[in-house]
Amino acid sequence: MTSASEDTIASRISRILADRIVTGQLDPGTKLRQDHIAEEFGTSHVPVREAFRRLEAQGLAVSEPRRGVRVASFDLKEVREVAQMRAALEVLALRHAAPHLTAAILDQAEEATVAGDNSRDVRSWEEANRRFHTLILTPCGMPRLLAAISDLHAASARFLFASWRSEWEVRTDHDHRAILAFLRQGNIENAAPVLERHVQWIGQKPVRNASGTTRDAFAIVG
């Protein structure tokens, strides 16, 4: 378990780069130079190119033929787009997962919610939040749907990290608890709309730039 050597170098590179893009270590628009990356990982650039293709498919990078690959940029419009896609697909997944949800699963989801509330930084909050959504949706047993949702989660997380770079305030997640309460009653018809709104909620607040000016930051928080 120590190494990921059971899968290919390309997939390892793709995972690490995806993480860097999502967490904001790589800024939008940054050029990804294949032999620099290859050198960093101690490989040739062939697997790096394959990793690029995967990032491209995930919407984390854009490639212009013969001009190289760059970290995908995004704007408020795309944040909204991803949020709405997530809303549509997560509701679908929840409707199919609901019949298979057990008390044990819901308990785990509650633990994830608590972990989120107790998180001291964005990163651990995001991890807990993702665990919550994954837990209640996975039982739908629709692999393609889950894969699509997972990619959208990565995009959401990217927006989240991009806005809340420094400060982080603790909040308690009432939406998650409401969803859990409905699911415990087997009341999917009420749980679904809450999830739909929850995922689409986009926080917006003024953020002071280094230059002293303020701009509206935004973030998907669901």
Query: Which one of residues 15, 20, 43, 78 is an interface residue with a copy of itself (CB under 8 A)?
Result: 78
At CA 55, angle to CA 8 and CA 57, rounded to 5?
Answer: 110
Task: Classify residue 47 by its DSSP letter.
Answer: H
Helices 76-97 & 188-200 angle (0-180, nearest 10): 160
Name the minimum Å distance from CB 146 to a copy of itself. 10
Distance in angstroms (rounded) separating the CA atoms of residues 152 and 89 = 10
User: Out of 106, 114, 145, 181, which residue is the one contacting a copy of itself (CB under 8 A)?
Assistant: 145
- C-beta separation of 179 from 195 below 8 A: yes
Largest CA distance in the chain: 56
| Burial (CB count <10 Å: 0-12, 13-18, 19+), residue 149 | buried
Q: List binders of DNA among 63-102 (CB under 7 A).
A: 63, 65-69
Beta-bridged to residue 31, according to DSSP, are 70
Do 144 and 167 form a contact (C-beta atoms < 8 A)? no
Question: Which DSSP string corresponds to 101-156?
Answer: --HHHHHHHHHHHHHHHT-SSHHHHHHHHHHHHHHHHGGG--HHHHHHHHHHHHHH
Cβ closer to DNA: 30 or 190? 30
Distance CA 161, CA 46 (A): 30
Pick what 43 binds: DNA, a copy of itself, none; C-beta below 5 to 8 Å, kind-dependent: DNA
- Binding to DNA by CB under 7 A, coded x per residue (else -) over 10-39, reads x--------------------xxxxxx-x-
Residue with tokens 């270590």: 25
Instruction: Tell me the per-residue interface mask from 149 to 188 with a copy of itself, x by CB under 8 A, - otherwise.
Output: ----------------------------------------
Smallest distance from a copy of itself to CB 81, Å: 5
Residue 34 binding target from DNA, a copy of itself, none, CB below 5 to 8 Å by type: DNA
Residue 66 interacts with a copy of itself (CB under 8 A): yes or no: yes
Work out how close the CB of 201 gets to a copy of itself at its nearest, in angstroms, rounded to a whole number: 17
Listed ranges 20-28, 43-51, 156-164, 174-182: which one lies at the site for DNA (CB under 7 A): 43-51
For residue 46, state whether it binds DNA (rule: CB under 7 A): yes
What part of residues 49-68 is at the interface with DNA (CB under 7 A)?
Answer: 49-50, 63, 65-68
Q: Which does 78 bind (CB under 5 to 8 A by kind): DNA, a copy of itself, none?
A: a copy of itself
Q: What are the residues binding DNA (CB under 7 A)?
A: 8-10, 31-36, 38, 42-47, 49-50, 63, 65-69
